[in-house]
A and B are shown apart, each in its own frame.
Chain A
Amino acid sequence: MPAHDVLIIGAGLAGQRAALAAADAGASVAIVSKVHPVRSHSVAAAGGINAALNPEDSWESHAFDTVKGSDYLGDQDAIEVMCREAPEEILHLEHMGVTFHRSPTGTLGTRAFGGASQARTYYVADITGQAILHVLYEQLMRYHERVDRFEEWFTTDLLQDQQGACVGAVCRNVRDGRLEVFDAKSTILASGGAGQAFRPTTNALICTGDGIAQAYRIGAPLMDMEMIQYHPTTLAENGFLITEGARGEGAQLFNAQGERFMERYAPNKLELASRDVVSRAEQTEINEGRGFPDGTVSLDITKVPRRRTLEALREIVNIGRDFAGVDITRQPIKIKPGCHYIMGGVKTDVDGQTPIAGLYAAGEVACVSVHGGNRLGANSLLDTLIFGRRSGQHAAHRSNQLPMPSTPDSRVAETQAGIDAILARPPGGRRISDIKTELGETMNSYVAVFRDAAGLETAHEVVRRLKEEAAVAQIDDKGTVFNQDVLGAIELGYMLDVAESIVVAAKERKESRGAQYRTDFPERNDEEWLKHIDVARNGDETPHVSYSPVTITQWQPQERTY
């Protein structure tokens, strides 16, 4: 039975960074991931990572841009921590081996990004997430004696002791179906976002909100769940991402009449306004009949010199060619806003601690909250690394003072019984894929760029019905080896819990701020709503809403224009 000081669930950037930090701090570490670490969705982060590293830039400027981007919902103490520590983290990555592209003088190169007052985005072509993820995995291989890797192990439950502290997890080896108790003094959730609750989405099939739901089920509060980022440039047919780096390099947006419409919505920053602003502008153009018949507008990357595109935007050249049949170096590509990122998540402090003792969260699964109502492009990689590292360090130090907990092996019987019940379902239920499709389409219809009370109520009703249907959904695979059917049933349950908390929070916030735009409450209302919405279960199945204050240090809310 594995027992470690620190157990990390999820092996994307946050998880791997946490593992390395905890090991460096002297802890014994296990990292568990339902997929091989390099398959984690961090791999898809394209454009870059923000840091005020140039001498003429300042962390305060980066922090202010982030606060403004968040529509003043981000906690400024946490944003200060992230932006202050960003330059050191970039240099650490560089020394570790990340192949950041350079300026002509050989120093680290930057590109412009949305919502930023300076070009402070460091990048590796448009595979920045992949490059960092693979380099961190290189380090994990190097640390093989200090970090135990459990690749393709699926976490089913978090474990709690008598006092309610988190003391590890139960995980299932995907390869043979075996359940194990993982004892741990501290547990860090780093299992990413929940984009699969929407359809289409830029998110990978593995982004099913596992960690958010696992924490929620043992009573951890979720925060800012209503804040779902719709990325301005996704492909209409399949939701694939066209990086913001394209606009950072000079690409422009046009409506069907050939008008560069961002001039009307954000006369100063144009295409490089915050994502919520650009997505709303596009959706307005489309809704008011100035889009193309297929509900899109166009992104013209031919404005970028071809050599530069081939060198620095290679991946979207491939995406355009292979998934849309378009040579982006020769012609515009049609795009629209699409579900991309969840600003909300498990509520944590700046060391990744959740209100549940022993349970940490970092990365997209968490809500510190550094992104508030809207995340700036290239701040998510930074978030994963800064708070992954801080969680790993804090958890390691905390573990120094604690005895190793021991959950009896018999605990797996409880989880096994749950899995057996899924396997024993009588035939005739709805198909899992069918329920998932309805969930995703419902969320994308009613919990998207524009929302209103009636639509949110409809979404809530659908989600509640789907929960009942999911409980008896059809299972074909009764086996133990790579039973993806049964894991899919568990993931569907996670997604539905997350979806419900999103809808409940969106219904609650009766104003428009960041990614939450209520057509029935179109103004931002600082007097009543400059506060976080927390959603938690209080020992029952129902989501309960409460509020927590937004931390303001030096930037008072102002009108937000770009």
Chain B
Amino acid sequence: MPDYTLRLRRYDPSSGQAPYWEDFTVDLEGHRSVLEGILQARGDTDGTIGIRCSCRAAICGSCGVRINGRPGLACHTHLDEALGRDHSGEGVIEVEPMGNMPVIKDLIVDMDAVHWKKIRRVTPWLLGREPIPEREYIVPHENMVDVTQTMACIQCGACVSDCLSMEVDPLFIGPAALAKAYRFVGDPRDAEPFERLKDLAEDKHGIYDCTHCFNCIEACPKGVAPLSQIMRLRRRAGSDFEIEDRNNGLRHEHAFVENIRRNGLLHEADLLPDSYGGKFHPRAVPELVSSLPVVLKALQRRKVTPAKALLHQHKAEPAVKKIYDIVEGRDQRLELNLYVAGDEADLADAPAVEETA
């Protein structure tokens, strides 16, 4: 069997020493998991290696780590796949604790201090509609299948680990907790979807604090796609409940849509004023003034030029308009969902599961 070198980030808080890297050689086949590698190192060589783990099968969510720079479950990452990500040229598999959370020991982070605190922020229990029926709530099958995608979250923290918005704003409620929020907003049995959405839209660190970097979608081992759930929360808040938030999130989103409808490509110079109701809207003036440093920076970096900003000529192609017509002409919004797979006929020719995951 081949040898793999695991380079583990070690940290013992009682030692008074800084964290350091330590290499272990393990003897396993390439399709075995990084967790099995770590457990072999712990079992055969060094019983002090710290990692949380339990199910070994990507169900319990214990073993979230970063492997060669990417967050994920150690049990869900094959050794050869992990090695394939190695860009150091040294042929090692680097395993370190998840980001955005304090480290307790070795690969173990304090999830309570960050992840669970954020989960508790979103009132994470069903507020059942009254009156409570004698038997079950009668609700469409499709809704229950729909929220199964967020129920499938195993609270491993991989999305939290690499959330860029949280790195900038540690108070951001974050991908896992907002996905959890959708689990209630999308549940027709919940009595307070409006209050939940209002709360999350008005919170400065809520649904409009996400910058769509897609890291959470890449990180999630269960296909929960937290960003998609955040976008769905926004669509429910904006389109269904028309919640105009004080963070200007909804207007900013509308500005994006209109900007591209008009220009085909994003015209950044218009985006900011449009988000506040146009260049001459009273609300826009103080915002524009306060945004001056950003504008200056953009000018300095030639992201915008005065000429382009003022004398913009770009016109949207007819093809762009067609996209808008198709999307807006639909009776219903189409929402992507892992558990909703389309018709049997569509599936016959669909790619193999390996490719869709």
Contact = CB atoms under 8 A, between A and B. Distances in A.
Given A431-B44, A475-B47, A131 B339 contact: no
Given A102-B141, A141-B120, A94 B48 contact: no
Interface string A492-508: 00000000000000000
B136 A151 contact: no
B128 A95 contact: yes
A130 B53 contact: no
Given A39-B62, A97-B187, A329-B353, A477 B48 contact: yes
Contact of B151 (A96, A127, A322): A127
Contacts of A325: 31
Interface in B110-139: 111-112, 119-120, 124-126, 128, 132-133, 135-139
Given A314-B152, A476-B48, A485-B47, A101 B141 contact: yes
Given A91-B136, A141-B124, A206 B54 contact: yes
A484 interface: yes
A552 interface: no
A432 B108 CA distance: 21
B112 A38 contact: no
A138 B125 contact: yes
A431 B45 CA distance: 9
Interface in B189-232: 189, 222
Contacts, number: 196
A43 B126 contact: no
B148 A125 contact: yes
B13 A434 contact: no
B61 A39 contact: yes
Contact of A479 (B12, B39, B137): B12
B151 A134 contact: yes
A289 interface: no
Nearest to A315: B59
Kindly state the interface size class of chain A when it binds its partner: 35 or more
A473 to B, nearest CB: 10
Given A101-B145, A307-B344, A138 B151 contact: no
Contacts of A38: 60-61, 154-155
A485 B48 contact: yes
Interface in A116-142: 124-125, 127, 130-131, 134-135, 138-139, 141-142
A371 to B, nearest CB: 22
A41 B339 contact: no
Nearest to A323: B57
B289 interface: no
Contacts of A106: 138-141
B331 interface: no
Contact of A99 (B48, B59, B106, B187): B187
Contact of B124 (A109, A124, A138): A138
Interface in B46-73: 46-48, 50, 52-62
B319 interface: no
A329 to B, nearest CB: 6
22 contacts: A36-B111, A38-B60, A38-B155, A39-B61, A95-B136, A99-B148, A106-B141, A107-B135, A107-B136, A125-B148, A127-B151, A131-B151, A134-B155, A205-B54, A240-B56, A307-B343, A314-B338, A321-B353, A321-B354, A431-B47, A474-B47, A481-B105
Interface of B: 12-14, 31, 39, 42-44, 46-48, 50, 52-62, 76, 104-106, 108, 111-112, 119-120, 124-126, 128, 132-133, 135-141, 144-145, 147-148, 151-152, 154-155, 183, 187, 189, 222, 338-344, 347-348, 352-354, 357
Given A432-B43, A482-B108, 6 more contacts: A104-B141, A204-B60, A311-B339, A314-B339, A322-B76, A481-B13
Query: Closest 9 CB pairs between A and B?
Result: A433-B43, A97-B126, A476-B47, A485-B47, A102-B141, A310-B341, A138-B125, A106-B138, A477-B48
